[in-house]
Structure 1
Amino acid sequence: MFSRNKLVPELIVADINKSLDFWTSLVGFRVVYERPEVGFAYLDLDGAQIMLEQYDPLELQWVTGALEAPLGRGINLQIAVDLVEPVLHRLAAVQWPLFRTCEDVWYRADTVEVGQREFLVQDPDGYLVRLAESLGERPYSL
């Protein structure tokens, strides 16, 4: 049975088909359900969930200001994946540019460091997506 998360970002997109191709074919999400007649899709990738809604200036969408590319400025969506390599291969196969190349990084979380192999890519509308593979934890030392 499908379970909806308590926090699910909904992204306004210019072209639902281009966005669906990016999020499903390249990143690996699956469409849980959609309403194609209004340009809406609910996606899931092993519990990471996102909604996509095609912009329609004639509808009463929840838009708080002008939509100018790139969309989503000031936010990046971190998505945990088992392995980043398959996603990197799919992106490379279509020559999709990376915003930041893949690297291993460690972030302090109180008394430990949390490691992840990560890269950043922008979706067709410019939303910044960080895909991260866990490298585990290690003690933090100065």
Structure 2
Amino acid sequence: MNFNAVIPEFIVSDLEQSRSFYCDLLGFTIEYGRPEENFLFLSLEDCQLMIEEGTDNELTELAYPFGQGINISFGIKDVPKLYQKLLESNYPIYRPLIKRKFRVGDHYIYPHEFAVLDPDGYFLRFSE
């Protein structure tokens, strides 16, 4: 497995709840874990993410939503399909699916994107 140059790591309040959200709902795969550290390394297509259940000391210093001010963008192939899966699961959508227009240098791209908050309030944007 190759590792991305930047891989976010989230401190979560409940590893099993987060595993269920990321793997069962969003479709991430567990690449490996360290149960003794309550840690999982996850991937979805070319995206990588680490989650680790926080200790009582770490969690008392965090306030919901965790990661305030951070917007993590995941580039995936079929954003509308994932969006539909979340709708069918009745998961709350933070920002509905839209087709955006972004200028990149001297041309424009038109990705679909939407955003959700994970169980601990991390802001996740999925974009093509």
TM surpasses 0.5: yes
Residue 8 (structure 2) pairs with residue 9 (structure 1): yes
Greater Rg over alpha carbons, structure? 1
Task: Supply the RMSD in Å over aligned alpha carbons.
Answer: 1.6
**Mapped partners of 2:12, 2:6: distance in 1:** 19
% identical aligned pairs: 33
Unpaired stretches in structure 1, ≥5 consecutive residues:
134-142
Residue 91 of structure 1, CA deviation: 1.3
**Mapped partners of 1:127, 1:66: distance in 2:** 15
Which digits, 9 at most, give the CA deviation of each residue in 1:84-118, with x for residues without a partner? Answer: 12212221222110000000001112211122100
Q: What residue number does 2:33 align with? A: 34
**Mapped partners of 1:50, 1:78: distance in 2:** 11
Residue 108 (structure 2) pairs with residue 113 (structure 1): yes
Q: Pairwise mapping of residues 20-99 of structure 1 onto structure 2 (< 5 A)?
A: 20-57=19-56, 66-99=61-94
Please give the secondary structure, in 1, of the residue aligned with 2:18.
Answer: helix
Please give the secondary structure, in 2, of the residue aligned with 1:98.
Answer: coil
TM-score by length of 2: 0.92
**Mapped partners of 1:107, 1:71: distance in 2:** 28
Contact in 1 for aligned 2:80/2:112 (Cα 8 Å):
no
Residue 76 of structure 1, CA deviation: 1.0
**Aligned residues between the structures:** 128
TM-score by length of 1: 0.84
Please give the secondary structure, in 2, of the residue aligned with 1:86.
Answer: helix
